[in-house]
Amino acid sequence: MAHHKSTIKRIRQTATRTERNRYYRTRIKNITKAVLIAAEANDKPAAADAFKIANKQIHRLVSKGFIKKSSAARKVSRLNLLVNKIEAA
Protein backbone atom coordinates (compact mmCIF):
# COMPACT_ATOMS: atom_id res chain seq x y z
CA MET A 1 0.00 0.00 0.00
CA ALA A 2 1.22 3.48 -0.83
CA HIS A 3 2.29 5.75 2.02
CA HIS A 4 2.85 9.12 0.33
CA LYS A 5 -0.01 11.48 -0.37
CA SER A 6 1.17 12.02 -3.93
CA THR A 7 1.31 8.29 -4.59
CA ILE A 8 -2.20 7.78 -3.24
CA LYS A 9 -3.45 10.58 -5.49
CA ARG A 10 -1.63 9.05 -8.46
CA ILE A 11 -3.36 5.72 -7.87
CA ARG A 12 -6.76 7.46 -7.83
CA GLN A 13 -5.95 9.39 -11.02
CA THR A 14 -4.75 6.27 -12.80
CA ALA A 15 -7.95 4.40 -11.91
CA THR A 16 -10.11 7.26 -13.19
CA ARG A 17 -8.18 7.61 -16.44
CA THR A 18 -8.12 3.87 -17.03
CA GLU A 19 -11.89 3.72 -16.71
CA ARG A 20 -12.34 6.70 -19.05
CA ASN A 21 -9.93 5.29 -21.64
CA ARG A 22 -11.66 1.91 -21.57
CA TYR A 23 -14.97 3.64 -22.30
CA TYR A 24 -13.50 5.54 -25.25
CA ARG A 25 -11.76 2.48 -26.69
CA THR A 26 -15.01 0.50 -26.50
CA ARG A 27 -16.90 3.42 -28.06
CA ILE A 28 -14.56 3.51 -31.06
CA LYS A 29 -14.86 -0.25 -31.55
CA ASN A 30 -18.66 -0.16 -31.39
CA ILE A 31 -19.14 2.72 -33.83
CA THR A 32 -16.64 1.15 -36.23
CA LYS A 33 -18.43 -2.19 -35.95
CA ALA A 34 -21.75 -0.54 -36.79
CA VAL A 35 -20.31 0.68 -40.10
CA LEU A 36 -18.75 -2.72 -40.85
CA ILE A 37 -21.99 -4.60 -40.18
CA ALA A 38 -23.99 -2.26 -42.42
CA ALA A 39 -21.35 -2.58 -45.15
CA GLU A 40 -21.37 -6.38 -44.98
CA ALA A 41 -25.14 -6.32 -45.37
CA ASN A 42 -24.73 -4.11 -48.49
CA ASP A 43 -27.03 -1.53 -46.93
CA LYS A 44 -25.72 1.75 -48.35
CA PRO A 45 -28.05 4.16 -46.46
CA ALA A 46 -27.46 2.47 -43.09
CA ALA A 47 -23.71 2.37 -43.70
CA ALA A 48 -23.69 6.05 -44.67
CA ASP A 49 -25.61 6.99 -41.52
CA ALA A 50 -23.32 4.88 -39.33
CA PHE A 51 -20.28 6.42 -41.02
CA LYS A 52 -21.57 9.93 -40.38
CA ILE A 53 -21.91 9.15 -36.67
CA ALA A 54 -18.52 7.41 -36.57
CA ASN A 55 -16.79 10.34 -38.26
CA LYS A 56 -18.23 12.81 -35.78
CA GLN A 57 -17.43 10.70 -32.72
CA ILE A 58 -13.87 9.86 -33.80
CA HIS A 59 -13.06 13.50 -34.43
CA ARG A 60 -14.59 14.44 -31.09
CA LEU A 61 -12.14 12.05 -29.43
CA VAL A 62 -9.31 13.82 -31.26
CA SER A 63 -10.38 17.11 -29.73
CA LYS A 64 -10.37 15.46 -26.29
CA GLY A 65 -6.83 14.23 -26.93
CA PHE A 66 -7.70 10.56 -26.73
CA ILE A 67 -6.35 9.64 -30.17
CA LYS A 68 -4.03 11.46 -32.51
CA LYS A 69 -5.25 13.36 -35.51
CA SER A 70 -3.50 11.06 -37.99
CA SER A 71 -4.92 7.92 -36.37
CA ALA A 72 -8.42 9.34 -36.58
CA ALA A 73 -7.89 10.35 -40.19
CA ARG A 74 -6.72 6.83 -41.03
CA LYS A 75 -9.73 5.20 -39.34
CA VAL A 76 -12.20 7.57 -41.01
CA SER A 77 -10.54 7.15 -44.39
CA ARG A 78 -10.73 3.37 -44.23
CA LEU A 79 -14.37 3.46 -43.18
CA ASN A 80 -15.15 5.91 -45.97
CA LEU A 81 -13.52 3.64 -48.55
CA LEU A 82 -15.59 0.75 -47.23
CA VAL A 83 -18.85 2.71 -47.48
CA ASN A 84 -18.02 3.93 -50.99
CA LYS A 85 -17.18 0.41 -52.13
CA ILE A 86 -20.77 -0.72 -51.43
CA GLU A 87 -21.99 1.33 -54.37
CA ALA A 88 -19.59 -0.32 -56.82
CA ALA A 89 -20.47 -3.85 -55.72
> pLDDT, tens digit, for every residue of 32-86?
999 999 999 999 999 999 999 999 999 999 999 999 999 999 999 999 999 999 9
Say if 55 falls within a structural domain.
yes
Number of domains into which the chain is organized: 1
Say if 21 falls within a structural domain.
no
**What torsion do the CA atoms of 63, 67, 72, 74 make, to the nearest 10 degrees?**
160
From its phi and psi, is residue 65 left (phi > 0), alpha (psi between -120 and 50) or beta? left
For 33, phi then psi, to 5°, come to: -65, -35
Q: Of 19 and 1, which is predicted with more confidence? A: 19
Say if 50 falls within a structural domain.
yes
Question: Which structural domain, as residue segments, surrounds residue 67?
Answer: 29-88
Give pTM, 2 decimals.
Answer: 0.82
Relative orientation angle of helices 44-64 and 5-40, to the nearest 10 degrees: 160
Say if 38 falls within a structural domain.
yes
* 19 SS3 class: helix
Say if 20 falls within a structural domain.
no
